[in-house]
Structure 1
Amino acid sequence: MAAEERGRVAVLGAGLIGVDLADRIARSSKLQLALLAGHRRDSMCLRRAAQMGHPTAAGGIRSVVECGPFDVVFDASHAEGHPRHWAALQPTGTTVIDLTLAGQGTVAVPGVTVYRPAAHQHLALVSCGGQASIPLLHAIAQRCTPRFIKVVCVGVRTGTGPATRLSVDRYIATTSAAIRAFTGTRDVEVRVGVSPAQPAPPFRVAMTVVADGFRPAPVRTSIAVAAGGVRAYAPGFRVTSLAVDPGRISVAVEVTPSSRQLPSHAGSVDIVNAAAVLLAEQSATVAR
C-alpha cells in the first residue's frame, strides 16, 4: 500500500513491548507508525526507537491526543493507566488495542473472534497466556464439553517486567475469564510460574482439559488446525506435546520470538504483539 493508504497508528508505552510493536508496525504493509509515545525523553527504549528512525514523543497520552487522530492506538503502558487512556481516546473515534492487563474492552483473539469495527472500538488482548492457549482450547471445546480446564504459563524472570510481576492476580483473573468465555467452561484454573533455568527457556504454556465423550482423532485435527492458524502470524508458536487420553486432553506449547527486537525467551511478548498488529491490520483494511 502507498503511505497515504496505510492505517495511521500510534504506540503508547516505550518499554520492550512498545519498541517491538514500533518495529513490527514499521515493517507492515498496511500500517504507518506515526508516533511512539513514552513518558521520559531520556529513557533507553525511547532513545533507541528514535535512533531507529521512529517518530517519538515523551508526553505519554497527552502526546497521543495532541498528535492524533489515529486509526489505531496500541496501549502498551500499564493496567492502572489504561482506563484514563481509553477515556481520553474514546471521543476521537480511534480503535484502541489494549495490551495491558486492564481487563476492559472486547476480548480479541485472532482466529477465534470475528472483528467488527463498528462494535469493537476497544479491543483487549487478555494476556500472553490467553493468546497462547485460547485458540487451542476453543478448538477443543468445539469437539467436547470440558468440565475442567487448567492452564499453566511459565516464563523467565528476565523476561517478566515489574508491572507483570506485581499484577499476577490480575493476570490470572483476566486470563481465566477469557478462557471461560471462549470455552463455556466454568471450572478454570490458571497458574503463573517463573523458570530459573539458564539459559532462559522459551515461554511455555501447558493445558489440561478434562472432558468426556470425545473422539481422539477429531480433537487432534482441531488442535493442529488451530496451531497452524496461530503460526500464520506468530511463526515461533509450536505444539511441543499432545496426549489425548480417555477423559483427558493434555497439550503444551512454546513460543519463540520471530521478532528481531526480542530475546529468545520473550515469546510472551512476541505472541501478544503479533496478535495486536494483525488486529490493527484488519482494522485498517476494514476502515478503508
Structure 2
Amino acid sequence: MSKIKVAIIGPGNIGTDLMIKIIRNSANLEMTAMVGIDPKSDGLARAKRMGFITTAKGLAGLEEMPEWKDIKIIFDATSAKAHHYNWAIVEKYPDKRIIDLTPAAIGPFLIPPVNFDTSHQVRNVNMVTCGGQATIPIVAAVNRIAKVHYGEIVASIASKSAGPGTRANIDEFTETTTRAIEEVGGADKGKALIILNPAEPPVVMRDTVFTLSENADREAIRASVQEMVEEVQKYVPGYSLHQEVQFDDIPEDKPVFIEGLGLRHGLKTTVLLQITGAGHYLPEYAGNLDIMTSAAMSTGDKIAATM
C-alpha cells in the first residue's frame, strides 16, 4: 500500500516531535509539509532542512501550493482558537481529514484503544488532551467491568513541558477532558485537574485516576486495567502503572456526595500512572507531549490504513 501524504500545522514542540515520529515509526503516513505563521520558526527551518515543503502563511498558504491536492490527512498542533480557522479550510475538501491535537473539540473525541472503531470515519477527530489520552483508557477499562458513576483524573506534568499553547489552554484542557471522561470513558460524571510541577530536575508525567463504580469483581477490574495498559503501550512504550491498582469500599450507609449525581456508594478504584517520553525530539520527562503525538500518529496510521 502506498503511504498517505500528510501535513502538520504548528511547527512547535508537539508538531516537530510528531514530524519525527512519522518519519521514524509510521507504517502508513508520509510526512510532506509543515505549516506555520512565523517565518523565523525553528520548527519550519528544521522541516525545510529535512526536505519537506514549508510555508509561514498558515494553512491558506499550503492550500495555494500544488502539493495540497495530494495531502489527505492534516494534523493540527496549534491552538483551540486556530483550529476553528484551519477546519474551515479543510472542511471544503471532501477527500481530506484533520486530526485535532488542540482542545477545540469540534469533532468527536478519539482515544485509540477505546473508540477508534466508532469514530475514525469522521473527517475531524479530536485527540482530547494529554491527560485525557493517558487516563480515559483507564476509566473505560473500569467501566467495561462495572458501571462508573464518577471519574476524576489528576494530571501532573513538568512545568518545563508546558509551553505557551498548553498554558493558554488550561481552561479548555479541564473542560475538554471532563467531557471526554463522560463521553468516551463512560462515567456518569467526570472531573479533570492539571498540575504544573516546577520541580528541578523536571519529573515525568504522573496521572492519578479515581473512579467510583458499582461493586464488581476486583480481580476482573485489575485485569481489565492491565489489558488496557498493554494496549496503550503498543504506541506509547513509556506508559506504565506506577503502583498496583488500589480498591476501597464506599458502603451504602456512608455514601459520598457527588455534585450533579447526589449520594453514591460502591467501589472506589485508584490507578496511578507514569508516562515517560520516547525522547525522539522532546526530553523524556515530557511524557504529556509524547502521549499526544504518539496517539495522534497511531490514529493517523489507522485512518490511513482504511483510506
Return the TM-score normalized by structure 1: 0.94
Structure-2 change in CA distance of 1:104 and 1:199 (3 Å): same
Mapped partners of 1:259, 1:26: distance in 2? 14
Mapped partners of 1:187, 1:106: distance in 2? 18
Worse-matched range after superposition: 181-190 or 119-128: 181-190
> How big is each residue's C-alpha offset from its partner over 1:155-187, in whole Å with a ceiling of 9 and x where there is no partner?
121100112212211110000000011233232
Q: How many pairs does the alignment contain?
A: 284
> How big is each residue's C-alpha offset from its partner over 1:77-100, in whole Å with a ceiling of 9 and x where there is no partner?
111011111011111121100001
CA contact 1:103–1:126 (8 Å) conserved in 2: yes
> How big is each residue's C-alpha offset from its partner over 1:18-48, in whole Å with a ceiling of 9 and x where there is no partner?
1111111122231111101111221122222
Mapped partners of 2:152, 2:118: distance in 1? 30
Q: Which has the larger radius of gyration?
A: 2
CA contact 1:112–1:138 (8 Å) conserved in 2: yes
Note the C-alpha offset of 1:116: 6.0
Note the C-alpha offset of 1:63: 2.4
The letter for the 1-side match of 2:248 is: D
2:203 to 201, 225, 245: 201
Worse-matched range after superposition: 80-89 or 65-74: 65-74
Mapped partners of 1:85, 1:168: distance in 2? 21
Note the C-alpha offset of 1:220: 0.5
1:168 is aligned to 2:180: no
Note the C-alpha offset of 1:260: 1.4
Residue 63 of structure 2 is matched in structure 1 by 65
1:31 to 25, 29, 32: 29
Worse-matched range after superposition: 64-73 or 133-142: 64-73
1:267 to 287, 291, 307: 287
Structure 1 residues 134-153: aligned runs within 5 Å: 134-153=136-155
Structure-2 change in CA distance of 1:40 and 1:204 (3 Å): same
Uncovered stretches (5+) of structure 1, i.e. residues with no partner: none
Mapped partners of 1:151, 1:237: distance in 2? 16
Mapped partners of 2:29, 2:183: distance in 1? 30
CA contact 2:115–2:184 (8 Å) conserved in 1: no
> How big is each residue's C-alpha offset from its partner over 1:256-280, in whole Å with a ceiling of 9 and x where there is no partner?
1114101121111111111111111
1:15 is aligned to 2:35: no
Structure 1 residues 204-223: aligned runs within 5 Å: 204-223=206-225
The letter for the 2-side match of 1:206 is: T
Local SS of the residue matching 2:241: strand
Worse-matched range after superposition: 236-245 or 267-276: 236-245
Note the C-alpha offset of 1:253: 0.8
Local SS of the residue matching 1:92: coil
CA contact 2:110–2:119 (8 Å) conserved in 1: no
Mapped partners of 2:275, 2:122: distance in 1? 28
Note the C-alpha offset of 1:192: 0.8
Note the C-alpha offset of 1:118: 7.9
Residue 90 of structure 1 is matched in structure 2 by 91
Structure-2 change in CA distance of 1:197 and 1:7 (3 Å): same
1:243 to 214, 236, 246: 246
Local SS of the residue matching 2:78: coil
CA contact 2:160–2:198 (8 Å) conserved in 1: no
Structure-2 change in CA distance of 1:118 and 1:29 (3 Å): closer
Mapped partners of 1:210, 1:48: distance in 2? 47
Worse-matched range after superposition: 118-127 or 151-160: 118-127
Mapped partners of 1:37, 1:24: distance in 2? 17
Structure-2 change in CA distance of 1:31 and 1:273 (3 Å): same
The letter for the 2-side match of 1:8 is: K
Note the C-alpha offset of 1:59: 1.5
Residue 108 of structure 1 is matched in structure 2 by 110
1:282 is aligned to 2:302: yes
Mapped partners of 2:151, 2:116: distance in 1? 24
Local SS of the residue matching 1:248: strand
Mapped partners of 1:90, 1:141: distance in 2? 34
Uncovered stretches (5+) of structure 2, i.e. residues with no partner: 250-266
Residue 129 of structure 2 is matched in structure 1 by 127
Structure-2 change in CA distance of 1:117 and 1:148 (3 Å): closer
CA contact 1:216–1:245 (8 Å) conserved in 2: no
Aligned-residue Cα RMSD (Å) equals 1.6
